[in-house]
Amino acid sequence: MDDSKNWHELIDSLFNWYHGGRIGKDSRPFFDNELYDAPHEAQAYAIKRFLRATHSYARSFNYLIDFLPDEYLPEIAEAAIVAIEVEPSNDRIVEAIARISDQQPTALHPYLGRLFEVMTHQDKHFGYDVQGSWRGASNIDGLKAIISDKQLPNEIRAKACECLLETRNPEVMLIAIKEIEAAYVVDTWLGLDDMLKQLGFEWNGEHLRQLYSDMVYHLIFQKEYRLTSVPEYPRPFTRPEHPTYHLDTSHAKQLAFGGVTEETCWICQGALHHVITITPELTGLVHSRQQVELVTCLSCLYMAASGLFYRHDESGKAIAMPHGEPIAIEELNSPGFMPTKVALVQTPSRWQWQDNKHHSDNANLSRLGGNPYWLQYNAEYLDCPECGKRMDFLMQLMDGLPEANGTQQAWGDTGIGYFFWCDKCAISGFVSVTT
């Protein structure tokens, strides 16, 4: 079915089914199979048509945004702004804007004034999901005027500060920081330090420091490797995998992944589990070593309350650092990740920002560099056990990969492991977070 008119008629018919509450499981194969093979114009039409649908399954159409070519996102952005002005409490519309703010925030920049106007009429938590729309924005005069107007309600001025912080432009962020520090704005969604950590920055009273690298690479594992330990079961419908699982690997670095090292864990005395070894040019954060061997102990993930730490010798080899008292829980007895090669692909600009509040949950979240995807809303940066300085974010790894014995590695229900680095002390840290 290639004719766009026929697609529009079918999509309109399905929309009417939604409105009547008659949508059922029999329709799901169509949504999750045929529509992903539809022309892009028809997919864009479906997304716009279902922005204001009330049925819970309408959220599936937002996933289509991730499969559209870049040139379609501005029209989706415009439609979403029009829709949210009518229904500001509709979660589907908020999610659509959040996805676009991750992938192409410039598509939303022409409408920031209108979006902020919507935010001012909602409770103070509303803007949290859509403030990423201000990332990279240069048209901030309106926000500066709002902050300067002491006659405006403090809640509105606080939202303006939060939007300025979301630009991630240090000069612009300082405007908001000074207002918050001077207590001219006191009704922000989080405290200043927590807000900045969530954005990947640290403020010491004089300088603003970015806690992550602007260089971003996705780890692309062979599909057969990823699914080695995933049980097979019949599915009534299948979505295509997210584009971030299938980035072009033709010019990618192939690095060794998994296995064990000669060093041992200070808690269980078992071999440390090798994850990946990186070199300085990949991060811009490592200067004190020619390479860094990233390791952890998958058997003792939950036995170190403040994270697992490793000192790196002159060659970059990781050696376990005792830190605190281990928590008395049962060891997991993991043999480590099944060894393989992983492709390190420089991430296209569209996928460099993946954020929990922006609904990147179906994507490949195994990344080196970039702003971390926090599985929980609180940012879990580690502090260096030696100098006490907040460590820089290096890499994150999704769970579900195969272990050497063929079982599926898991950090709770759904989990991500985070690696951090202190270049001054040549110490790496690891913590896993689960839902």
- pTM (two decimals): 0.91
**DSSP class of 414:** S
CB atoms within 10 A of CB 80: 30
Using an 8 Å Cβ cutoff, are 293 and 277 in contact? yes
Helices (H), 54-111: 60-63, 73-86, 91-103
370-399: pLDDT as tens digits: 999 998 778 889 999 999 999 999 999 998
Q: Angle 170-181/141-148 helices, nearest 10 degrees?
A: 10
Question: Is 433 strand, coil or helix?
Answer: strand
- Helical packing angle, 170-181 and 192-199, nearest 10°: 160
Task: Give Dmax (Cα) for the chain.
Answer: 67
Ramachandran quadrant class, 376 (left: phi over 0; alpha: psi -120 to 50; beta: rest): beta
CA distances, 161 to each of 168, 213, 248, 378, 392 (Å): 12, 24, 39, 19, 25
The tens digit of pLDDT for each residue in 396-423 reads 999 889 999 988 887 766 789 999 999 9
DSSP SS3 for 392: strand
Cα 211 from Cα 236, distance rounded (Å): 43
Alpha-carbon span 267 to 128, nearest angstrom: 40
Predicted local confidence at residue 358, as pLDDT: 59
pLDDT (tens digit, 9 = 90+) per residue, 206-256? Answer: 999 999 999 999 999 999 998 876 655 555 456 788 999 999 999 999 999
Where residue 120 falls (left for φ over 0; alpha for ψ -120 to 50; beta otherwise) is: alpha
Average the pLDDT over each of 58-67, 157-166, 321-330 and give the range with the smallest value: 321-330
Q: Are the CB atoms for 381 and 405 separated by under 8 Å?
A: no
Q: Report how far residue 233's alpha carbon sits from residue 53's, in angstroms, rounded to the nearest whole number.
A: 31
pLDDT above 70 covers what percent of the chain?
A: 85
Q: How far apart are CA 173 and CA 312, in angstroms?
A: 35
CB 290 within 8 A of CB 279: yes
Structure tokens at 42: 């028809």
pLDDT higher than threshold 70 for residue 135: yes
Average pLDDT, the chain: 86
For the stretch 154-157, contacts whose Cβ atoms lie closer than 8 Å and that sit 24 or more positions apart, written own/partner, are 154/185, 154/186, 154/187, 155/124, 155/187, 156/120, 157/184, 157/185
Rounded CA-CA distance 304/306 in Å is 6
SS3 breakdown of the chain: % helix, strand, coil, rounded to 5? 35, 20, 45
Cα distance between residue 43 and residue 65, in whole Å: 8
Summarised one tens digit per residue, pLDDT across range 52-102 is 776 555 667 788 899 999 999 999 999 999 999 998 888 888 889 999 999
